[in-house]
């Protein structure tokens, strides 16, 4: 059940129609189940409308509310695995056509709001820029570094676009994650128009070597080279993920993101999304319990029995 909780001053609610949330789902039923949790989190923690775009194969009943605008999403056909990721730009275009809101808060279907967010918060975070994203930084203890992401960008993203200029210097480069994007409608319309035209021109097989080229590569190239002054760096709380932040979920998180390297949501992740939108304390408590020796041993035994039974 989705419960709407509004906190804050009346002036925040008056501004709510200046922000719209956008999310979409295509493919397997678990993507639609994840989208349902995303929608519930928006209803629970904001006064914003949400444009939810769903493919024709959606068999799950999504939350019903005057603030939920469920639209049929007919993405262009394509068999390459990048297809569903690149559809994000057309989904955003359809959202902009449906809503006249000044700012769009885009959420991947595996991301949920975890606490109250007002229009005032969104406007302040964007700080007058066209786009806002969080940097995907290596977590504590990782073998990766910003240099690792920088090399990936140079070896794959720039090769895809056949970039002829020099790349930005390492200290100016940011490896943005596009699972959560804030955007002013004019700037967002510009990046989407460019991306859709480039996707159509560069062909259906979006891949360099073994690496798939997705929407994130398009956002990277736009924000780091084509229009480097267009994007502001959002603080970690707008896109908090266990794969690029330590101590997940941290206190103060606004958006929890269960990104899993393009593999799609799992049944367990649907339950985690529900818990995170209800209260991040649930996830923290679960992590503490599963790391205790007794509970960990019992969990391993149970999994062993399940595998043996299978």
Could you tell me if 250 and 287 are in contact, meaning their C-beta atoms sit under 8 angstroms apart? no
Residue closest to 45 by CA, chosen among 264, 261, 278: 278
Express each pLDDT in 142-160 by its tens digit.
777 889 999 999 999 999 9
Q: Is the pLDDT of residue 31 over 80?
A: yes
Q: Is the pLDDT of residue 5 over 60?
A: no
10-278 architecture in CATH?
Alpha-Beta Complex (3.90)
Task: Find all residues with CB under 8 Å of 13, minimum gap 6, and list them.
Answer: 6, 47, 118
Sign of dihedral through CA atoms 242, 245, 248, 254? negative
Q: What are the Cα distances from residue 142, in Å, to 122, 156, 173, 239, 242?
A: 31, 21, 19, 19, 12
Express each pLDDT in 83-102 by its tens digit.
889 999 999 999 999 999 99
* Bridge partners of residue 177, in order along the sequence: 134
Q: Is the pLDDT of residue 133 over 70?
A: yes
Q: What are the Cα distances from residue 85, in Å, to 14, 28, 105, 270?
A: 34, 14, 17, 19
- Rounded Cα gap, residues 136 and 174, in angstroms: 8
Task: Share the mean pLDDT of the chain.
Answer: 88
3-state secondary structure at position 99: coil
Q: What are the Cα distances from residue 51, in Å, to 81, 285, 304?
A: 24, 33, 43
Express each pLDDT in 161-175 by its tens digit.
999 989 999 999 999
Query: What are the boundaries of each domain within the chain?
Result: 10-278
**How many percent of the chain have pLDDT more than 70?**
86
**pLDDT band at 291; cut points 50, 70, 90:** low
Q: Is the pLDDT of residue 108 over 60?
A: yes
Task: Find all residues with CB under 8 Å of 242, minimum gap 6, and list them.
Answer: 139, 248, 249, 258
Task: Give the other-Cβ count within 10 Å of 147's Cβ.
Answer: 11
**pLDDT band at 294; cut points 50, 70, 90:** low
Q: In what helix (H) or strand (E) does residue 256 lie, and over which residues does it extend?
A: strand 255-257
Q: Which tokens sit at 290?
A: 């599963």
Express each pLDDT in 49-65 by its tens digit.
999 999 888 888 899 99
Express each pLDDT in 69-82 by its tens digit.
999 997 766 677 78
Residues 109-145: b if buried by 16+ CB within 10 A, e if exposed: bbbbbbbbbbbbbbbebbeebbbbbbbbbbeeeeeee
Q: Are strands 103-107 and 211-212 parallel, antiparallel or unpaired?
A: unpaired
Q: What are the Cα distances from residue 29, in Å, to 36, 56, 91, 180, 294?
A: 11, 11, 18, 22, 35
- Rounded Cα gap, residues 106 and 108, in angstroms: 7
Average pLDDT for 261-274 = 87
Q: What are the Cα distances from residue 248, in Å, to 113, 240, 283?
A: 15, 8, 8
Q: What would you report as the CA-atom Rg of the chain, rounded to the nearest whole angstrom?
A: 20
Q: What is the pLDDT of residue 14?
A: 47
Q: Which tokens sit at 298?
A: 């019992």
């Amino acid at each position: 059940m989705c419960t709407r909780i509004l906190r804050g001053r009346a002036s925040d609610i008056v501004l709510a129609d200046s922000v719209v949330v956008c999310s979409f789902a295509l493919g397997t039923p678990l993507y639609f189940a994840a989208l349902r949790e995303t929608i519930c989190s928006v209803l629970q923690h904001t006064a914003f409308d949400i444009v939810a775009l769903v493919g024709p194969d959606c068999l799950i009943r999504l939350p019903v509310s005057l603030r939920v605008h469920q639209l049929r999403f007919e993405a262009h056909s394509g068999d390459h695995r990048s297809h569903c990721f690149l559809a994000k730009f057309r989904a955003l275009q359809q959202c902009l056509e449906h809503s006249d809101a000044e700012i769009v808060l885009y959420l991947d279907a595996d991301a949920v709001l975890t606490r109250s967010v007002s229009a005032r918060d969104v406007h302040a975070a964007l700080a007058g820029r066209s786009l806002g994203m969080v940097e995907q930084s290596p977590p504590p203890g990782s073998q990766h570094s910003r240099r690792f992401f920088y090399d990936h960008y140079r070896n794959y993203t720039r090769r895809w676009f056949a970039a002829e200029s020099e790349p930005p210097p390492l200290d100016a480069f940011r490896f943005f994650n596009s699972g959560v994007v804030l955007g002013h409608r004019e700037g967002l319309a510009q990046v989407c128009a460019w991306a859709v035209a480039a996707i159509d021109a560069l062909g259906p097989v979006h891949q360099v070597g073994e690496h798939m080229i997705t929407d994130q590569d398009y956002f990277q190239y736009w924000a780091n080279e084509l229009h480097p002054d267009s994007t502001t760096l959002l603080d970690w709380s707008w896109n908090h993920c266990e794969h690029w932040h330590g101590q997940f979920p941290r206190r103060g998180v606004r958006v929890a993101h269960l990104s899993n390297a393009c593999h799609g949501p799992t049944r367990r992740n649907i339950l985690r999304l529900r818990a995170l939108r209800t209260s991040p304390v649930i996830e923290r408590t679960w992590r503490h319990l599963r790391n205790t020796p007794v509970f960990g041993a019992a969990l391993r035994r149970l999994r062993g029995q399940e595998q043996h039974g299978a």
